[in-house]
Structure 1
Amino acid sequence: MANYKYRRKYFPLRNSIEVEENHKGNYGAKGQKRKDKKKATQEDIERQNQWNAEKNLRRLINNNFGPDDWHMVLTYEKDKRLVVEAARKAVKRFLAAMRRDFKKLGYELKYIMVTEYENKAIHHHIVIQNIIVGQTTTAKLVKKNWEYGRPKFVPMDDTGEYKDLAEYLIKETSKTFKKEGNPNKLRYTRSRNLEVPEPIEEDMYKHEFKNEPEALPGYYIDKDSVVEGENKVSGKPYRYYTMIRLRTASDHEGIEIEDDLYQQTADKLALLSAKKKRKRKKR
């Protein structure tokens, strides 16, 4: 039986698939002692936490929101500004009102929210889905339910990739998140109905890192997304990259799209997922 020491994780999203390739973590061959673990500095820990927060938020946004949805900012007029705890309750009431209005229209409210108040006036960033039912829209409902100021709306672009937005939101709230006594406790809050992407794994060999990553059928690799290096603790190689879904025959470097390409990839990931479930049952 092949002794695979590395793994490839696929994270299927709406319009892309993120890939992580790294060592499984069982360092050394059987009978060999593991190398002494290097102690991570506080700076290393904070950098890793920041990277993980950006990664998780990016995947949530990419998997649940898309073109024509909104990134909006709820602000407070000067004479209506609230202290932090009161603002937390105000935005909670706002979201409850939005949830009721959406339900009346046959929708479930989906959102991700971050709050910032350190070194600036308190405000809330919210990524929210856009609905249109007759004359009723998300924007109109927001204006009806937010009584403290004028909301600012920015439409999500048509790429379906919101890496920059996720990084901005995490960076925007980094000071507030670390502040002692922060009532929010979390970097961001979200509705419970968001789809969290589950990884699908396959085994791989170390020598595969020598080759350029290959895109699955119906996708191309975003070259700017490729990150390669060695783990500072283990010295083992890793690689991360994103595969973007092709939408038209001329979408990327003239690659031709056949009807069954997406199905080929879906079938491959389904098989890997089923294999993983079988392994779990055997344990």
Structure 2
Amino acid sequence: MNNKYIQYDYESTFNSKLDADDKRIEKLLSDGRIKGIYATKTIKAGKSFEVEIYPEFTKKSQQGFKLKKINKTAQKNLNDKNARKRLERLINTNFKNGDYWVTLTYTNENLPTSLEAAQKDMKNYIERINYRRKKKGLNNAKYIYVTEFSEKGRCHHHLIMDCDLDMKIIESVWKKGRRNNVRRIAEDEQGITGLAYYLTKDPQGRKRWKSSQGLKRPIERKSYSVISKRKIQNMIKNQDSIEFELEKIYKGKKFMSAEVKYNKYNCKFYIYARMINAKNRE
């Protein structure tokens, strides 16, 4: 069944946020011109659980309309957004409360002149960390780091790492700067999503990231039947019902937030919801 439907970047076509009290919802629902089907995708990343509900179209039903094309600037913004989303999910999947969040800085005389030089500094740093881990009988570190250059050219690194090695060693191994900071990750009500978002937010300059090998990937599943078309329509008309419906379908998950967007080109809707393991709220 999957091959029957066109794969497309559904999020880029849904750019009109729909207010819950929009009186046009009923009319918009009845104006659907394109025959297709709604897909429901879930993304499990650690304690974070996302739900994306969006339409897919058959090749036959696509005749007579074109999916909206976006300009280069909008495409770059979308690519950046998707890259941040992938990184956020990777962080949620692999790290937890109590792991390390490390900020590594440079003194003026040690400032790297390029991204490549900065990443070489981090490569050497990670190698020294792994050498100390090996001496203690530990496997190589599990990590993700983000390198940021400010508009003024200053560079620093944000590193998320497992907590197997002593904090003092983590800090002392870095020799390029003095104002370094090692602290333990403290989860909020959404796990470590807040930290992940902070590290992946729009930069004041340039950001690049790298990770250790063997990190776990978020678990994605797609279904055409888990939520009926009628139920989707009801959630669009009454957005207050989204919380009830999703918590009923996804047992053990707690609703956090949702938004509904409308595509004026094909008269279809997109629902995005963020949930979390219910026990995380206790």
Matches within 5 A, 1:116-155: 116-120=148-152, 121-131=154-164, 136-137=165-166, 139-150=167-178, 151-155=180-184
2:92–2:196 CA contact under 8 A, matched in 1: no
| Paired position in structure 1 for 2:29 | none
Judging changes above 3 Å, is the alpha-carbon distance between structure 1 residues 127 and 234 closer, same or farther for their aligned structure 2 residues? farther
| Paired position in structure 1 for 2:120 | 89
CA positional deviation for 1:86: 3.0
2:48–2:193 CA contact under 8 A, matched in 1: no
In structure 1, what is the Cα distance between the partners aligned to 2:216 and 2:265?
A: 33
CA positional deviation for 1:42: 3.1
CA positional deviation for 1:65: 0.7
| Paired position in structure 1 for 2:25 | none
Judging changes above 3 Å, is the alpha-carbon distance between structure 1 residues 101 and 232 closer, same or farther for their aligned structure 2 residues? farther
| Paired position in structure 1 for 2:38 | 6
Q: Which has the higher contact order (CA 8 A, sep 6+)?
A: 2
| 1:191 matched to 2:191 | no
Q: Which moved more, 1:158-167 or 1:88-97?
A: 158-167
1:14–1:64 CA contact under 8 A, matched in 2: yes
CA positional deviation for 1:162: 3.2
| Paired position in structure 1 for 2:7 | none
Unaligned residue ranges in structure 2 (runs of 5+): 2-34, 236-241
1:230–1:236 CA contact under 8 A, matched in 2: yes
CA positional deviation for 1:34: 4.3
Identity across aligned pairs (percent)? 28
Q: What's the TM-score, normalizing by structure 2?
A: 0.72
Alignment partner of 1:60: what SS? helix
CA positional deviation for 1:53: 1.9
Judging changes above 3 Å, is the alpha-carbon distance between structure 1 residues 172 and 100 closer, same or farther for their aligned structure 2 residues? farther
CA positional deviation for 1:116: 1.4
Judging changes above 3 Å, is the alpha-carbon distance between structure 1 residues 100 and 231 closer, same or farther for their aligned structure 2 residues? farther
| 1:55 matched to 2:78 | no
In structure 2, what is the Cα distance between the partners aligned to 1:96 and 1:233?
A: 52
Q: Which amino acid aligns with 1:202?
A: S
* Deviation digits for residues 219-276 of structure 1 (CA, Å, limit 9, x no counterpart): 2111xx312112465442111112211227x82xxxxxxxxxxxxxxxxxxxxxxxxx
Judging changes above 3 Å, is the alpha-carbon distance between structure 1 residues 43 and 66 closer, same or farther for their aligned structure 2 residues? same
* Deviation digits for residues 194-241 of structure 1 (CA, Å, limit 9, x no counterpart): 11113112114433222324221112111xx31211246544211111
Alignment partner of 1:161: what SS? coil
Q: Which amino acid aligns with 2:143?
A: Y
| Paired position in structure 1 for 2:223 | 202
Unaligned residue ranges in structure 1 (runs of 5+): 178-186, 252-283
1:72–1:153 CA contact under 8 A, matched in 2: yes
| Paired position in structure 2 for 1:158 | 187
CA positional deviation for 1:60: 0.7
Point out the structure with the larger strand share: 2
Matches within 5 A, 1:1-283: 5-26=37-58, 29=61, 33-84=63-114, 85-104=116-135, 105-120=137-152, 121-131=154-164, 136-137=165-166, 139-150=167-178, 151-159=180-188, 161-171=191-201, 173=203, 175-177=205-207, 187-204=208-225, 205-209=228-232, 210-211=234-235, 212=242, 213-215=245-247, 216-222=250-256, 225-231=257-263, 234-247=266-279, 251=282
CA RMSD between the two structures: 2.7
In structure 2, what is the Cα distance between the partners aligned to 1:103 and 1:34?
A: 62
Alignment partner of 2:177: what SS? coil
Q: What's the TM-score, normalizing by structure 1?
A: 0.71
CA positional deviation for 1:48: 1.6
Q: Which amino acid aligns with 1:208?
A: K
Alignment partner of 2:150: what SS? coil
CA positional deviation for 1:55: 1.4
Judging changes above 3 Å, is the alpha-carbon distance between structure 1 residues 34 and 26 closer, same or farther for their aligned structure 2 residues? farther
Judging changes above 3 Å, is the alpha-carbon distance between structure 1 residues 64 and 157 closer, same or farther for their aligned structure 2 residues? same
Judging changes above 3 Å, is the alpha-carbon distance between structure 1 residues 77 and 233 closer, same or farther for their aligned structure 2 residues? farther
2:36–2:57 CA contact under 8 A, matched in 1: no
In structure 2, what is the Cα distance between the partners aligned to 1:242 and 1:8?
A: 13
1:7–1:202 CA contact under 8 A, matched in 2: yes
